[in-house]
Amino acid sequence: MEITAKQLASYLSGEIEGNPDVSVNNISKIEEGQPGTLTFLANPKYTSYIYTTKASIILVNKDFIPEKTISATLIRVENAYQCLAQLLTLVDQSKPKKNGIGSLVSIDSTAVLGENLFIGDFAYIGKNSKIGNDTQIYPHVYIGDHVKIGANCILYPGIKIYDDCIIGNNCILQAGVIIGGDGFGFAPKETGDYQKIPQIGNVIIEDDVEIGANTTVDRATMGSTIVHHGVKLDNLIQVAHNVEVGENTVIAALTGIAGSTKIGKDCMIGGQVGFTGHIHIADGIQIGARAGVANNLTDNSTPYLGYPAIPAKQFARSFVIYKNLPELSLEVSKLRKEIEELKKTIK
């Protein structure tokens, strides 16, 4: 689809610098831009490419000040990255949606199905489960008994949703997600082995949640494991039983959250972060990659880094000392020898 700079600027409420009639029919990265494509500049690390890219139109923030001549047409907007997201969403929504129910599906007679569904071959839907309107269920998805899935959801191949779990509206679950597997509950016995604790709760996923590939959200021992509205979980994340993740929190890949931990809303959590169980993370907390969180975090005025997680500035100062430990160790050994020599001299 061809679209002009003038049309884009109108849609994005932007200001044009350059030829308003230049048109594009595709989107490219700024370092790989070609004629006829739209690109964007949001990260200052890529500023040098704005002077060399061959893209026809570039989205930039309103406060961008060029240092050289730029051949492309600029569209100045409040937030270039956010505007790109709007455009990509528009492109994605323009694709034809799958619909219809495959001939090789297994749907229990008591299940309640909404309108305009797509259900791919080899999907299974259990007893008394409910599927909302306009939801897409790809092949090899398992939906257990008494499951509720809202409207306009997308469930990609290989997803497993166990009994009694609830998925809200407008949710996207990537391939391999498992919702409602047993939590890790075992009671040690006097004989040295373990007694399994039945996990009789469920999982509640609220509206507008996206969960990445092969992420697992365990059912609660009792009550519910809850992922609140607007949460975005990356690939390969473990959310244990009775965890609660506050709304609009984003968590990067390979993070593990132990049982009964409560994470507040609007938090940003980097990759490979580990949380111990039964702790509380306040609203708006930011945690850097590979941190280990063993205690409650209450101060959202600073990011946290390290293990155990501490304020970022304190971590930076500590790390300088850590890097110098070999030299410091040699210096301490040298000082010890000198002290011993002084002691002998005094005696």
Judgement on whether residues 274 and 334 belong to the same structural domain of the protein: no
Give yes or no for a contact between 289 and 273, defined as CB atoms under 8 angstroms apart. Answer: yes
User: Of 94, 120, 146, which closes a domain?
Assistant: 94
Digit-coded pLDDT (tens) for 80-124: 999 999 999 988 888 888 999 999 999 999 999 999 999 999 999
Q: What is the extent of the structural domain holding 321?
A: 317-346
Give yes or no for a contact between 257 and 280, defined as CB atoms under 8 angstroms apart. Answer: no
The residue that leads in pLDDT, 272 or 347, is 272
| pLDDT at residue 347 greater than cutoff 80 | no
Q: What is the pLDDT of residue 344?
A: 87
Distance CA 126, CA 110 (A): 8
| pLDDT at residue 1 greater than cutoff 80 | no
Q: What is the pLDDT of residue 90?
A: 87
Count of domains in the chain? 3
With vertex at residue 129, the alpha carbon angle to CA 126 and CA 130, rounded to the nearest 5 degrees, is 140
Structure tokens at 25: 């029919």
Judgement on whether residues 321 and 190 belong to the same structural domain of the protein: no
Q: What is the pLDDT of residue 297?
A: 98
CA distances for 309 relative to 14, 137, 302, angstroms: 42, 40, 11
Judgement on whether residues 26 and 169 belong to the same structural domain of the protein: no
User: Of 76, 94, 112, which closes a domain?
Assistant: 94
Structure tokens at 321: 């000392």
How deeply is 225 buried, as exposed, middle or buried, from its count of CB atoms within 10 A (0-12, 13-18, 19+)?
buried
Distance CA 276, CA 106 (A): 40
Q: Could you tell me how far CA 129 lies from the centroid of its own chain?
A: 28
Digit-coded pLDDT (tens) for 251-265: 999 999 999 999 999
The percentage of residues in the chain with a pLDDT greater than 70, rounded to a whole number, is 100
Judgement on whether residues 133 and 73 belong to the same structural domain of the protein: no
Judgement on whether residues 20 and 85 belong to the same structural domain of the protein: yes
Q: Which of 45-49, 322-326, 329-333 has the highest mean pLDDT?
A: 45-49
Digit-coded pLDDT (tens) for 29-55: 999 999 999 999 999 999 999 999 999
Q: What is the pLDDT confidence band of residue 346, given thresholds at 50, 70 and 90?
A: confident
Structure tokens at 2: 């061809």
Q: What is the pLDDT confidence band of residue 24, given thresholds at 50, 70 and 90?
A: very high
Residue 76: strand, helix, or coil: strand
Q: What is the pLDDT of residue 95?
A: 85
Tell me the pTM. Answer: 0.91
With vertex at residue 290, the alpha carbon angle to CA 209 and CA 212, rounded to the nearest 5 degrees, is 25
What is the average pLDDT score of the chain?
96
Judgement on whether residues 292 and 173 belong to the same structural domain of the protein: yes
Residue 87 belongs to domain with CATH number: 3.40.1390.10
Q: Which of 228, 229, 241, 278 is catalytic?
A: 241
CA distances for 225 relative to 58, 86, 153, 219, 241, angstroms: 44, 32, 20, 6, 6
How deeply is 251 buried, as exposed, middle or buried, from its count of CB atoms within 10 A (0-12, 13-18, 19+)?
buried
The percentage of residues in the chain with a pLDDT greater than 90, rounded to a whole number, is 94
Judgement on whether residues 114 and 191 belong to the same structural domain of the protein: yes
Catalytic status, residue 241:
yes
Judgement on whether residues 265 and 295 belong to the same structural domain of the protein: yes
